[in-house]
Amino acid sequence: MTESLSFWPVESQEGEPDLFVCLTCFEEVFRAKVPVEGCPGCGAIGAFEPFTIAAIKDWGSEALIKKAEQEPASAVQDTSSDQPVG
C-alpha cells in the first residue's frame, strides 16, 4: 500500500526530530515526510508530530519502534541522539 502513497517532504535541522508519528493511531511513522492523503493506518489528516527514535522507544509499541528503526536514514545524520542532555 505504501508504494501508492504520495508524501509531503518535511525538512528538519540537524539534531531536530525527523520521525513523524501519527498521534491518532500511534501505528504509522515516516522519516522526513508525511502522507499527503493522511495516515494510511487510520486516515487521520494532520495528526503527525515529530519525535526522535529515543522518544519513540520510551513510549511506543514494539511494532511502532520496529517501523521507526526500519525507516531509511535522512540526508542529515543525527549523531547527537545518544548524547545526554544537560
How far lies 12's CA from each of 1, 28, 32, 56, 83, in Å? 26, 19, 7, 17, 19
pLDDT value for 3: 56
Question: Which residue, 14, 63, 23, 60, is CA-closest to 44?
Answer: 23
Average pLDDT over residues 46-60: 96
pLDDT tens track for 67-79: 999 998 865 444 3
The 10 Å Cβ neighbour count of residue 70 is 9
- Rounded to two decimals, the pTM is 0.78
pLDDT at 26 over 70: yes
Residue identified by cell 522507544 is: 57
pLDDT value for 50: 97
pLDDT at 62 over 50: yes
The DSSP element (H or E) to which 54 belongs, if any, is helix 53-59
Domain map (residue ranges) of the chain: 2-70
